[in-house]
């Protein structure tokens, strides 16, 4: 077998975990149409081709506008269940054995959808995944950073009765102009309530935002973090602390963070011994689920099998599984 075919097979067959996945970002165009019809919601597209041609983004905000529009078709618990179950079937296909998913309650509550409808639909699908397919998961609730901290406190209060289902809180949406420090009090309260914390930082935003996420929000992982290489001190900090970066290669290309995959800095990040992981972010919008991200970035950057293996092991190490579960999976890789 040629070396490359061997790596492709290795990526497909190896058990993997995903740590950066927005469940709303798994809404495929055909599913969007199905739900629009079922719920009698109008969407600004005539057919699937029109949806796909609208997926031409020039930065994060241009994507978010379309993404929040798409989410409007999600109304009932059943919709959130179906959305999550469809993603789980993708996990099965890709050999993803554990996934830690984000959801954005404010996107739905601001449209009058009850918090419980959202979390219960997602949770029921994830429970079924564990019972029927042995795919385990954790749920992370994200605050929308373009909204104010007050709105975040309201969502946090709704989440308290679901502590058994939600392991942590995160921070997503429009990064530039919405630094982590805007949410320092909210994250402090979330930690006091027992939630772990993560945050999107350094996707488009400067290294300073990564420092703030570490120092002020006390995060366990940085989501994206690819701007870190602009700051040598930060690289040293990330290397010493081994704070994981949940890198999303196809997302970074679709949102023009890098011009092309060959110019992505993942290999440099790996070579600097940072705790890098590969993830799919919003796969229905960015052109592929976890295997596709690994396959394309491996090919574009000519990653060795050893580097791919490191990335996969890093994801288990960086997950919120317990040590025994982590070691069990890592021993199988
Ligand atoms: N919400 C969904 N995807 C996102 C991303 N890549 N960055 C920030 N917020 C998001
Ligand atoms: Zn994201």
Left if phi > 0, otherwise alpha if psi is -120 to 50, otherwise beta: which for 95?
left
In a domain, 130, yes or no: yes
Q: Take residue 170 and report the two structure tokens written for it.
A: 């995160």
**Ligand 1 atom closest to the CA of 248, numbered from 1:** 6
In a domain, 333, yes or no: no
For residue 34, what is the domain's CATH number? Answer: 3.20.20.140
**Ligand 1 atom closest to the CA of 142, numbered from 1:** 1
In a domain, 214, yes or no: yes
Distance 201 CA to ligand 2 centre (A): 10
Atom 4 of ligand 1, residue of closest alpha carbon: 173
Q: Take residue 207 and report the two structure tokens written for it.
A: 């290294």
Question: Domain range holding 155?
Answer: 2-328
CA dihedral (254, 259, 263, 264) positive or negative: negative
pLDDT at 1: 58
DSSP 281: B
Q: Which of 173, 180, 225 to mutate to test the pocket of ligand 1 (most atoms within 8 A of CB)?
A: 173
On whether the CB atoms of residues 222 and 201 are closer than 8 A, the answer is yes
**CB 282 less than 6 A from any atom of ligand 1:** yes
Q: Among this protein's residues, is 203 annotated catalytic?
A: yes
On whether the CB atoms of residues 308 and 294 are closer than 8 A, the answer is yes
CA distance 186 to 38: 37
In a domain, 160, yes or no: yes
**CB 108 less than 6 A from any atom of ligand 1:** no
**CB 24 less than 6 A from any atom of ligand 1:** no
**CB 319 less than 6 A from any atom of ligand 1:** no
Total domains present in the chain: 1
Q: What angle do CA 106, 108, 113 make, to 5 degrees?
A: 120
Which residues of the chain carry a pLDDT beneath 50? none
Q: Which of 20, 101, 199, 200 to mutate to test the pocket of ligand 1 (most atoms within 8 A of CB)?
A: 200
In a domain, 293, yes or no: yes
First to last CA, the chain: 20
In a domain, 81, yes or no: yes
In a domain, 67, yes or no: yes
CA distance 122 to 266: 31
Atom 8 of ligand 1, residue of closest alpha carbon: 173
Taking only the tens place, the pLDDT of each residue in 260-278 is 999 999 999 999 999 999 9
Chain-centroid distance of CA 10 in Å reads 23
In a domain, 28, yes or no: yes
**CB 18 less than 6 A from any atom of ligand 1:** no
Query: Which three-class secondary structure state does DSSP give residue 138?
Result: strand
* The one catalytic residue among 77, 203, 204, 212: 203
**CB 25 less than 6 A from any atom of ligand 1:** yes
On whether the CB atoms of residues 48 and 284 are closer than 8 A, the answer is no
Distance 104 CA to ligand 2 centre (A): 11
């Amino acid at each position: 077998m040629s070396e490359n075919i061997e790596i492709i097979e290795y990526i497909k067959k190896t058990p993997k975990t995903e740590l950066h996945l927005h469940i709303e970002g798994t809404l495929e165009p055909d599913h969007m149409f199905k739900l629009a019809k079922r719920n009698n919601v109008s969407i600004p597209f005539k057919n699937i081709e029109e949806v796909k041609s609208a997926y031409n983004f020039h930065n994060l905000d241009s994507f978010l506008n379309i993404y929040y529009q798409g989410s409007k078709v999600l109304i009932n618990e059943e919709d959130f269940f179906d959305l999550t179950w469809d993603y789980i079937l993708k996990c099965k296909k890709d050999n993803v054995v554990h996934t830690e998913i984000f959801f954005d309650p404010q996107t739905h509550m601001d449209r009058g959808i009850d918090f419980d409808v959202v979390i219960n639909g997602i949770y029921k699908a994830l429970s079924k995944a564990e019972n029927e397919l042995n795919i385990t998961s954790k749920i992370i609730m994200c605050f929308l950073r373009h909204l104010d901290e007050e709105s975040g406190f309201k969502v946090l209060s709704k989440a308290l009765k679901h502590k058994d289902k939600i392991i942590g809180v995160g921070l997503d949406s429009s990064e530039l102009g919405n630094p982590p420090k805007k949410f320092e009090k909210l994250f402090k309260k979330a930690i006091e309530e027992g939630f772990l914390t993560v945050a999107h930082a350094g996707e488009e935003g400067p290294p300073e935002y990564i420092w703030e996420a570490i120092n002020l929000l006390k995060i366990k992982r940085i989501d994206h973090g690819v701007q870190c290489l602009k700051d040598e001190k930060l690289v040293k900090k990330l290397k010493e602390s081994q704070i994981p970066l949940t890198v999303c290669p196809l997302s970074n290309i679709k949102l023009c963070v890098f011009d092309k995959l060959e110019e992505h800095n993942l290999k440099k990040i790996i070579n600097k011994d940072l705790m890098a992981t590969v993830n799919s972010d919003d796969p229905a919008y960015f052109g592929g689920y976890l295997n596709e991200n690994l396959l394309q970035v491996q090919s574009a950057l000519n990653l060795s099998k050893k580097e791919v293996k490191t990335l996969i092991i890093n994801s288990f190490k960086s997950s919120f599984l317990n040590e025994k579960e982590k070691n069990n999976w890592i021993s199988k890789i």
